[in-house]
Amino acid sequence: MSLSIDDIVENFSFLDDWDDRYRYLIELGRMLAPMPEAAHTDENKVRGCASQVWLETHVDRSGPEPVLNFLGDSDAHIVRGLVALVLALYSGRPAREIVATDAMDLFRKLGLSEHLTPQRSNGVRSMVERIRRDAAAAAAGQG
């Protein structure tokens, strides 16, 4: 996916109708970089999501601090869009920035917090916790 988080936020600002926003989320999910079938493992599965969600973390240690990149996938269209949104926020960023970034602020800003079911909100929290945990481990020299 080549859209930055800023592009996505701007695009959301043009969509007043929630059906349009849901369609946009589904479109984001369609644009998500494909995750190899071999990465759909139990180890990559995110616990706490009602739908199946997988996240694969890659740590680049070639620079002065670790940078994390993520691949993600889901078996549900809207959830796949939420995965794309979370990855646009976190992927390609240094570990310390990831740990310091609260995705729930973004979800509130986009109005998603009040439009997601409690199960989907819990799933997003589980994804974010997993990403931030991987980033904290990378920053500490683990993982």
Q: What is the pTM of this model?
A: 0.92
Residue 58 forms beta bridges with which residues?
69
Distances (CA, A) of 138 to 12, 45, 62, 82: 32, 19, 13, 24
Quick check: 112 and 81 in contact, CB under 8 A? no
Cα 109 from chain centroid?
16
Indicate the DSSP class of residue 103: H
- Tell me, what amino acid is at 35? M
Return the DSSP state at 33. P
Mean pLDDT by 10 residues, the chain (143 residues): 86 91 94 93 90 95 95 94 95 96 89 83 91 96 71
Helices (H), the chain: 5-13, 18-31, 77-90, 95-100, 103-109, 118-139
pLDDT value for 123: 86
- Please report which helix (H) or strand (E) contains residue 74, including its range: strand 67-74
Q: What is the pLDDT of residue 1?
A: 57
- Residue spans of the domains in the chain: they are 5-139
pLDDT value for 85? 95
Dihedral over alpha carbons 29, 35, 39, 40 (to 10 degrees): 40
Q: List the CATH code of the domain at 5-139.
A: 3.90.1010.10
Catalytic residue numbers?
49
